[in-house]
Amino acid sequence: MESERMNFTLSTELTHTSSAQPAAPRPLSCSIVRTPAEFAALEIPWKALFHSSARPVPFLAWEWVTTWWQHFGKAARLFVILAKDDAGRIVGIAPLQIATRRAFGIFPVRSLEFIGYRGSSVCADHLDFLAEGGAAHFVSQALLEAVFAASKEWDCIALADLSEESALPSLLEDQARRRKFRLAEGAGQVCPCVPLAPSWNELLKIVKEKKRSAIKWRRKKLLQAYPTQFQIFADPAQVDAALDTLARLHTLSRQRKHETGNFYRADYQAFHRDVARAMARAGYLYIAQMDCDGRPVASTYGFHVGSVLFDYQKGYDPAYSRDGVGSVLTGMVIEDAIERLHAQELDFLRGTEEYKYFWATRDRKTRTILLWSAGVMARLHQGEFDLRRALAPVKRKGLEFWARITAPKPAKKPEVAAPQPAVSAAPETPTSAPAPDIAPTRSETRKPPTE
């Protein structure tokens, strides 16, 4: 299919002329990529834009997006929008798809979403359009104009887990006002982060004394108890074995909480095996493993992109939980990120688990923006969204009530019998109990004590 082209105006801030004489605005032409062949041809410009973005994240990397599409994109249609300058250079990419969702489980709704959003248990945070760092706002504006120029092809827009630096929320609000479309904000995610110091020792000086003592004591205690080895796996040839270990440890640690974890799903395992290989070839993969007595006891799976180490998944052996192997490994990962990778930040990604805030000192928050057109299906989908939101408190209270009544009751402590007072021998009087039928034997007859 021939890609349609649309022209928009880009601000003068994208030009590279002298500030003494502002140049005329440059037009941007936008086109929509719809076929796998056109998509595959984007590898080189995609990677160039990815590396030039202000804060590249692994979930917008070419390796992640194309692998996700191969595994989970079969039920959707490509809707990748390109923005080109007047020289024909690609300066922006909107990595989008049109997926069919069902309003109330029945009515088909054409939903415009990020490639990688929904349709799987694979999570992605800090999403955005791809553009060069200094031009992100203006390029995103042009890409959105192309989205709305093709509004007959979709019923709603669902851009989930947007980066907190993204210009898309404010730009979508402007578009909704202009076109009188309904806009709402869905649930976002909280991603705890650790700003890293130039050295491990400097980081330890920053943390509070109580935490600093705990970090040193836990590691020292573990190293004294077991021969301990810290390993990094980044070679594509090491991926399968390292992921198998991670999956086993992740499942073990989840079972301790009476959960299955994600690695029990065959599609989840297959995706991560392929994406880890691709990320390893690109130099982004980071798998750290800690062995005690030659046995893997804890593992962390993530990606090192730009100046940030992203902590995606982890697991540990509950048999070593009293030794704090998960906490010790996290400390070793942070030290490695500082000293070897020269990273400036560790991003724990979504989830506010307590262990993250032992280290994290700030949060990055993602946003989810939903927008509906004026069509019938859009209104049905909007109605379902409003109903779900209205019923959310009722559902939450119901789940809390169910958890209370189904929670196992604590075992009762065995009752300890009260000590019985000693019973004195009855006086030998005529009114005492009758004598037994059999007289005591000689050995049973009591004799007065002799001195």
Percent of the chain predicted with pLDDT > 70:
84
Beta strands 190-195 and 362-365, pairing class? antiparallel
Helix (H) or strand (E) holding 368: strand 367-372
Residue pointed to by tokens 């993250």: 356
DSSP lists the bridge partners of residue 108 as 102
Amino acid present at 265: R
Residue 418 CA to residue 421 CA, distance in Å, equals: 9
pLDDT value of residue 4:
55
Stretch 382-391: mean pLDDT = 93
Q: Residue 400 — pLDDT band, cuts 50, 70, 90?
A: confident
* For residues 411-415, average pLDDT: 59
Beta strand extents in 104-241 (DSSP E only): 107-114, 130-131, 156-162, 182-186, 190-195, 228-233
Q: Are the beta carbons of 130 and 50 closer than 8 angstroms?
A: yes
> Of 127, 159, 141, 114, whose CA–CA distance to 370 is shortest?
159
Contact of 155 with 111, CB cutoff 8 Å: yes
**Cα separation, 31 vs 29, whole angstroms:** 7
3-state class (DSSP) for residue 233: strand
The percentage of residues in the chain with a pLDDT greater than 90, rounded to a whole number, is 75
At 196 the pLDDT is 98
Q: What is the predicted pLDDT for the residue at 405?
A: 82
Sequence letter at residue 131: A
Residue 261 has pLDDT above 90, yes or no: no
Mean pLDDT of 93-102: 96
pLDDT, residue 416, reads 55
Helix, strand, coil fractions of the chain, as percent rounded to 5: 40, 25, 35
Model confidence at 417, in pLDDT bands (50, 70, 90)? low
pLDDT of 257 reads: 83
Question: What is the per-residue pLDDT across 38-49, written as a single tens digit (0 to 9) for each?
Answer: 999 999 999 999
User: Any idea which fold 5-189+366-393 has?
Assistant: Aminopeptidase (3.40.630)
Whole-number average pLDDT of the chain:
87
Which pLDDT tens digit goes with each residue over 301-333?
999 999 999 999 999 999 999 999 999 999 999
Residue 375 has pLDDT above 90, yes or no: yes
User: Amino acid identity, residue 17?
Assistant: T
pLDDT of residue 19: 41
Q: CA-to-CA distance for 339 and 333, rounded, in angstroms?
A: 10
Domain 192-364 -> CATH class: alpha beta
CB 168 within 8 A of CB 162: yes
192-364: same fold as 5-189+366-393? yes
**Domain segments of the chain as ranges:** 5-189+366-393, 192-364
93 forms bridges with which residues in the sheet? Answer: 82, 130
The model carries a pTM of: 0.83
Asked if residue 443 has pLDDT above 60, the reply is: no
pLDDT higher than 70, residue 167: yes
pLDDT of residue 121: 75
- Cβ atoms 17, 11 nearer than 8 A: no
